[in-house]
Amino acid sequence: MPLVTTPAIVLSTLRYSETSKIVRLATREHGVQSAIAKGALRPRSRFGAALQLLSEGQAQLLTKEHRELHTLTAFDLVHLHARLATDLDRYATASVLAEVMVRFAPPDPHPESYDRFRDALTLLEDVPAESVEALGFRVVWQLVSVLGFEPALDACVRDGLEIAEGGLAFSTREGGALCPTCAAEHGATRLPEQARADLAALLDPDAPLPMLDRRHAESHRRLLARYIRYHLAEGAELPALEFWLARPWKAA
């Protein structure tokens, strides 16, 4: 039962007994792992208040070979990401990121997804309020992409033909752009030239964030949600994604 120490972020918690909880952790060296934190709910627990959703720290795990549930022996808090909880736009986006990680990141080493997730939380905390929505689209797309589902925009995903400038036939099912012939055969959503440019900017971490009016932002939100459901969900319920899509706090 080797002891491993790894950077980790809390993805979810579940009460296990009167005194313990089960946590899902995104770890840098060991992928997404489940662990029981014994005594975490006791008033004088050694974990204190560290095991909050999205808390970042250094985890120590007693791992059990061929078992899915390990033992969390310590979690040394590095950052609470507390500012995410002060704004529902930030928190809802962070919750989508955590849901994508807990559902779809592998239980094996995948430092690229961990680093992208951690950096996204920091960016969401620091970005000005007027840019939270566009940045949210960017960081979710980037996490989806680093998990292996980056959409293609410049060449047809079926026959490889280069896509001319201008509007774009985009297929959620096929994973990106289709040439006119393939679009006619398989169906696609038509993205106007500006929508294509906005999507390209969101996929490019070095590009300025696009300015999205309300109508275009909602259209892009629906497109991204459909993409995640089709390529990653495989029938699973995604409550954080549905909450982010509905944005009930904006309707109130």
Q: How much is the pLDDT for 119?
A: 97
Gap between the Cα atoms of 206 and 208, Å rounded? 7
Q: Say what the pTM is.
A: 0.93
Instruction: Please give the structure tokens belonging to residue 145.
Output: 């992409």
**Which residue's structure tokens are 């060296």?**
29
Q: How much is the pLDDT for 252?
A: 54
Instruction: Please give the structure tokens belonging to residue 60.
Output: 């120590």
- List average pLDDT for each run of 10 residues in the chain, which is 252 residues long: 89 92 94 93 86 94 86 93 92 97 89 96 95 97 95 94 92 94 92 94 95 93 95 86 92 62
Domains of the chain: 3-80 (2.40.50.140), 83-251 (1.20.1440.120)
CB 116 within 8 A of CB 143: yes
CB 137 within 8 A of CB 202: yes
Q: How much is the pLDDT for 98?
A: 97
Q: How much is the pLDDT for 68?
A: 86
- Which amino acid, 1? M
